[in-house]
Amino acid sequence: MSEPQTLFDKLWSSHEIAHREDGAALLWIDRHYIHEGSFHAFSQMKSRGRNVAEPGLTFGVADHYVPTRHRDRDIANAEIAAMVRNLTGNAAEAGVTLFGLNDPRQGIVHVVFPEQGLTLPGLSIVCGDSHTSTHGAFGAYAFGIGASEVAHVLMTQTLWQKKPKRMRVTVDGAALPGVAAKDIALAIIARLHSDGAQGHAIEYAGSAIAALSMEGRMTLCNLSIEAGGRCGMVAPDATTFAYLKDRPYAPKGAAFDRATEAWSRLVSDTDAAFDSEVTLDAAAIAPIVTWGTTPDDALPIDAAAPDPARETDAARASYVREALDYMGIAPGKKLNEIAIDRVFIGSCTNSRIEDLRAAAVVLDGRVSKVPGLVSPGSSSVKRQAEQEGLDRIFRAAGLEWAESGCSMCVGINGDVVPPGERCASTTNRNFRGRQGPGARTHLMSPAMVAAAAVNGHLADVRPLLAGRKL
């Protein structure tokens, strides 16, 4: 009998080409996703006089810098226009398939490639973006890398890596109505802290995880990096296979059946050893919002902001004081009394069709007290939402319905939260200045953002769901 293996062990060993004495292994990369930010790597590659080794395994999309309004016009900002043009040029030169600005498949990298069936179980997937962990939702080994590693993958389709440790996060039980994958993820991050999973590959397991849709699993795996994790993953199952069937780039017919047979073996063996284990009870998780400047500053909506005077640790007290000061929140303030200036629904974390539906259920027939922007995760999600009439609900509520891109999550396409303003946001980072210099971000689920919009302050979504079909 061979040693029982975790899902991650299986993924790792199936990609190992060679290893060195110091512990580094050379891994084969099955998919490489690129975007406008990959320009440093293309420069590095060109300066060595090299070409893209496997253009057929490299796929590009314009997302980080694309405008979310007026796609029919030229991009007004010359520097931003150059970023998009540069990607188009690099992809064309290398023979890489690109879903460019006006392609009907365009959208956010971590929404588009699963949607297209390019992300599959058992693959190694890299991208120059920390939220690449998203693709682990399919039982893939997916992780973010920097420009030098992007250049290395472009040139060789391989990467030197040290094997991460293995962590299992088990969430059992049934989540309460109004509690979304985002709430589960924020509860996990609050438990682990921003660096608790550093150096680890996380496997999410348990009945509450198995009950999640693919959209929910993507939200969960997406946020692995916010607990410091190298990657996050969920073992593929019937939900995964049903999502993948008939996707454009996925195997078809008999090949699909043979693939699902192989993918079904991508589970952690009984008795497989993990380096660390964490368990949570789904039924104990309430809707969560963040109050501070890291995603682990997350508390249930009925809680109060911390008070530095009550912190026993001096360093912690100092952190809390500075975070509250930046956020403009009085110590001990009840979270559901914090007034907001605007809302944002979008990003690779929460912009898929299910996320838009969850927000629309709350907003239907109601009006937002603050302005807000809804940016669907992909142009396909946008079309589907419009077929379902979700765009009309958002517009009727007073929110702006825009095109797809990274938009106000990272603020580099021009969609920013003005200095000092407070935004209830479905995004992934409440870092200082993340949504624009001086911007104050509260992270939460799409339904909770909708509740904040309707109330004009952070609020529990659950009363607003009474009598509505979820």
CA distance 195 to 210: 25
374 - beta bridge partners? 345, 401
Convert residues 220-239 into a mask of x (bound to other proteins by CB under 8 A) and - (unbound): -----x--x-x---------
> Does position 318 bind other proteins by CB under 8 A?
yes
Nearer to other proteins (CB atom), residue 58 or residue 404: 58
Helix (H, G, I), strand (E, B) or coil at 388: coil
CA distance 331 to 340: 17
| The binder of other proteins chosen from 210, 317, 412, 465 (CB under 8 A) | 412
Subset of residues 5 to 44 that bind other proteins, contact rule: CB under 8 A: 14, 17-18, 20, 22-24, 26, 28, 30-31, 37, 39-40, 43
CB of 302 to other proteins, least distance (A): 26
Q: What angle do the packed helices 214-222 and 181-192 form, to 10 degrees?
A: 30
> Does position 88 bind other proteins by CB under 8 A?
no
| Helices and strands in the chain, H and E counts | 15, 19
Q: By CB under 8 A, how many residues form the interface with other proteins?
A: 81
Q: Which stretch binds other proteins (CB under 8 A): 175-183, 253-261, 337-345, 458-466?
A: 253-261
| The binder of other proteins chosen from 294, 368, 380, 407 (CB under 8 A) | 294
> Does position 158 bind other proteins by CB under 8 A?
yes
CA distance 366 to 350: 21
Burial (CB < 10 A; 0-12, 13-18, 19+), residue 59, is buried
Q: Which stretch binds other proteins (CB under 8 A): 157-165, 234-242, 391-399, 451-459?
A: 157-165
Subset of residues 179 to 208 that bind other proteins, contact rule: CB under 8 A: 194-195, 198-199
How far apart, in Å, do the first and last CA atoms of the chain sit? 47
Run of H or E residues at 184: helix 181-192
Nearer to other proteins (CB atom), residue 171 or residue 416: 416
Q: Are residues 340 and 371 in contact, defined by beta-carbon separation less than 8 angstroms?
A: no
CA distance 245 to 256: 8
Nearer to other proteins (CB atom), residue 435 or residue 455: 435
| The binder of other proteins chosen from 83, 280, 329, 370 (CB under 8 A) | 83
| The binder of other proteins chosen from 70, 258, 310, 395 (CB under 8 A) | 258
> Does position 152 bind other proteins by CB under 8 A?
yes
Q: Are residues 327 and 294 in contact, defined by beta-carbon separation less than 8 angstroms?
A: no
- Residue among 59, 45, 49, 50 nearest 91 (CA): 59
| The binder of other proteins chosen from 8, 12, 42, 65 (CB under 8 A) | 65
CA distance 401 to 298: 28
Subset of residues 381 to 400 that bind other proteins, contact rule: CB under 8 A: none
| The binder of other proteins chosen from 13, 92, 102, 162 (CB under 8 A) | 162
Name residue, tokens 């060789």. Answer: 156
CB of 401 to other proteins, least distance (A): 24
CB of 82 to other proteins, least distance (A): 8
| The binder of other proteins chosen from 13, 148, 207, 279 (CB under 8 A) | 148
Backbone φ and ψ for 212, nearest 5 degrees, come out as -75, 145
> Does position 85 bind other proteins by CB under 8 A?
no
| The binder of other proteins chosen from 56, 89, 95, 463 (CB under 8 A) | 56
Backbone φ and ψ for 116, nearest 5 degrees, come out as -85, -5
The full 3-state SS of 393-427, as one line of letters, equals HHHHCCCEECCCCCHHHCCCCCCCCCCCCEEEECC
| The binder of other proteins chosen from 242, 431, 463, 468 (CB under 8 A) | 431
Nearer to other proteins (CB atom), residue 26 or residue 273: 26
> Does position 305 bind other proteins by CB under 8 A?
no
Subset of residues 259 to 288 that bind other proteins, contact rule: CB under 8 A: 259, 262-263
Backbone φ and ψ for 362, nearest 5 degrees, come out as -75, -40
Two tokens, residue 324: 């509250």
Subset of residues 97 to 116 that bind other proteins, contact rule: CB under 8 A: 116
